[in-house]
Structure 1
Amino acid sequence: MIHDTKKDERASVFDAIYEANIGSYLGVPVYLKNGKMFGTVCAIDPEPYAFSKEEIETMEKLSSILSVLLENATKSSYNTVDDKLMRLEKLALLGQLSAGLAHELRNPMQSVKGFVQFLFEDQTENRFRDIVLTEIDRMDHLIHDFLLVTQPTAPKRGYYDINEIVFETVELIQTEATLHNVELSISVDCDQFDVHVDRAQIKQVMINILKNAIEAVGENGQVTIDVRTLNDKEVTIEIEDNGAGIPIAILGRLGEPFFSTKEGGTGLGLSISKRIIQEHKGSISFENKKSGTKVTISLLK
């Protein structure tokens, strides 16, 4: 006796339809651009019903729309992945380049610096000597920033009061704020809140953000620093200025290496800051306010 398996499959399908109380069914396949079927878009009625020509055409149009949406969603996903891979490749290549340049440039720079100091050692004041030494130091600092972006060091953590870190950092930046007639104000909502951080690195982040804020507000501007405890495990540092704000179109690119809105800027300051906060398992965000920009740094105990 020959057993018809296909007949059994058809019977089980019909049984499932009856159990689901399906009186009428219209299914239109959804195809992707490569010809593969993604699935079907279905219309079901518990009562027996003959679908009209217009209803069938509507379902076919809906199938076409879904096909386009799925194709665009897939493209967007692939583009995002490709973009991230390109950035990683860029940083890896830059890491090799910066390590080599740091070694090849720093040695002759130190030699030049030494010769300049020797040539003018008898002169207490010399404008050209000071310019040369300042530019050499600036080049060395830029090389240092390249290395931080491409080959960051692991945080050397300890438990420190975040209020002390904030007040010490503001004290360091106060001179620059005074030169620009910028008013700095600090507000804290607790006497002490210890965080597990690299003290020097968090100061560096705050200096980078505060310098940007001071430059953004210009003469007679205002910058506020608010330290807020969200709970017994998390604290935020909000740095807000009353400058012109950041164009919405570029908000998402802040912190990207070599992207800067400042003339002659490298974008490395924010990139370093973002990486430091990520290494601390915290977060940093940027947003436009009614007047100016607010940067929020979140840190954990």
Structure 2
Amino acid sequence: MIHDTKKDARASVFDAIYEANIGSYLGMPVYLSNGKLFGTVCAIDPNPYAFTKQEIETIRRLSSVVSVIIENATKSSYDEFDDKLIRLEKLSLLGQLSAGLAHELRNPMQSVRGFVQFLFEDQKENQFRDIVISEMDRMNQLVNDFLMATQPSAPKRENSNLNDIVNETVEFMRNEATLHNVDITLSLESTMLYVDVDKSQIKQVMINLVKNAIEAAGDEGGKVMIYVKIRNEKEAVIEVVDNGAGIPLSIIGRIGEPFFSTKEEGTGLGLSISQRIIQEHKGAMRLENLESGTRVTVSLPLM
């Protein structure tokens, strides 16, 4: 007895269609730009139905739209990967540069600073001496920032009340807020929020965030609100909110990238350092635009 395998295959296909209760089927292939078949867009009716030309054209257009969406989604993922790779390369280059700078510049800078102080030690007030010393200190801090951004020291953790760290930072920054005519407020959800952190590093992060918020808030009617909360009984959350102009959408993805800054004299290292510190503490940092201003959210695991 001879079996017709093609006939048997067709019969099994029809059986599957009947079992799925498909009376009418209209399918349109979805092709990618390289010609590869990704899948199909289909319309199914349980009853026998003759699809109209308009419906067929609608499915055809829909398949084209799906193809474009898939292409863009794939391209976005590749772009995101390339962006992360570029950032890693920049950090690697920055690490080599900072290590050399630290060695070659620190000693000469300290020597120059010492000689300047020695030459003018008899003068209680000297504008030029103060300018030179201030600029030398700024250069030294820049070298330290390079090192911190690329080779952050391991956190020296201890059981700390996060509220105390934030409160100390706010009090430290009040004078600067006053100089900018910015009102700064602090809201604590709980009196005790214990976290296992390096206090000095977390305080450095808070100083960077509050300073950025004060500068973003402007000089007239500026406001900076800081909230410390508990989320899911597992995380402590710090929110720093300002009522400034916000971050342009065209550059928001680059915020935190080393050497990228919207400030004329900025190095772009402040947020980069802050992100690295929070990552070392197993936390996360997120920036987002509000209707009026910006919110930076930092989360840290509770003890």
Q: TM-score range by the shorter chain?
A: 0.7 to 0.9
> Could you tell me how far 1:102 is from its partner in structure 2?
2.0
Conserved 8 A contact 1:236-1:298: yes
SS in 1 for 2:214: helix
Task: Name the stretch that deviates more: 231-240 or 145-154.
Answer: 231-240
1:68-100, Cα deviation, whole Å (9 max, x unpaired)? 222222222222222222222222222222222
Task: Name the stretch that deviates more: 266-275 or 8-17.
Answer: 8-17
Structure 1 pair 49–232 and aligned structure 2 pair: CA distance change class (3 A): closer
Aligned length: 301
What is the distance in 1 between the residues matched to 2:223 and 2:44?
Answer: 63
1:223-242, Cα deviation, whole Å (9 max, x unpaired)? 33333334543322333344
Structure 1 pair 59–263 and aligned structure 2 pair: CA distance change class (3 A): same
Structure 1 pair 64–191 and aligned structure 2 pair: CA distance change class (3 A): closer
1:206 paired with 2:191, answer no
Structure 1 pair 151–5 and aligned structure 2 pair: CA distance change class (3 A): farther
**Aligned position for 2:236:** 235
1:255 paired with 2:256, answer yes
Task: Name the stretch that deviates more: 279-288 or 29-38.
Answer: 279-288
1:270 paired with 2:271, answer yes
> Could you tell me how far 1:18 is from its partner in structure 2?
2.4
1:68 paired with 2:68, answer yes
Give 5+ residue unaligned stretches, structure 1. none
> Could you tell me how far 1:140 is from its partner in structure 2?
0.8
1:49-79, Cα deviation, whole Å (9 max, x unpaired)? 4444444343333333322222222222222
**Aligned position for 1:33:** 33
Conserved 8 A contact 2:235-2:301: yes
> Could you tell me how far 1:151 is from its partner in structure 2?
1.8
Aligned pairs for 1:139-218 (under 5 A) are 139-216=139-216, 217-218=218-219
Paired AA for residue 300 in structure 2: L
> Could you tell me how far 1:222 is from its partner in structure 2?
4.1
1:226 paired with 2:227, answer yes
1:300 paired with 2:276, answer no
Structure 1 vs Structure 2 CA RMSD: 2.7
Task: Name the stretch that deviates more: 261-270 or 41-50.
Answer: 41-50
> Could you tell me how far 1:207 is from its partner in structure 2?
0.9
TM-score normalized by structure 2?
Answer: 0.86
**Aligned position for 1:283:** 284
Structure 1 pair 76–224 and aligned structure 2 pair: CA distance change class (3 A): closer
Conserved 8 A contact 1:180-1:220: no
**Aligned position for 2:104:** 104
What is the distance in 1 between the residues matched to 2:43 and 2:152?
Answer: 57
Conserved 8 A contact 1:255-1:270: yes
Conserved 8 A contact 1:157-1:199: yes
Structure 1 pair 32–291 and aligned structure 2 pair: CA distance change class (3 A): closer
Conserved 8 A contact 1:237-1:296: yes
Structure 1 pair 67–111 and aligned structure 2 pair: CA distance change class (3 A): same
**Aligned position for 1:79:** 79
Conserved 8 A contact 1:157-1:197: yes
1:111-146, Cα deviation, whole Å (9 max, x unpaired)? 322332333334333222221111111011011111
Give 5+ residue unaligned stretches, structure 2. none
SS in 1 for 2:34: coil
Q: Percent identity?
A: 70
Conserved 8 A contact 2:284-2:299: yes
Conserved 8 A contact 2:87-2:257: no
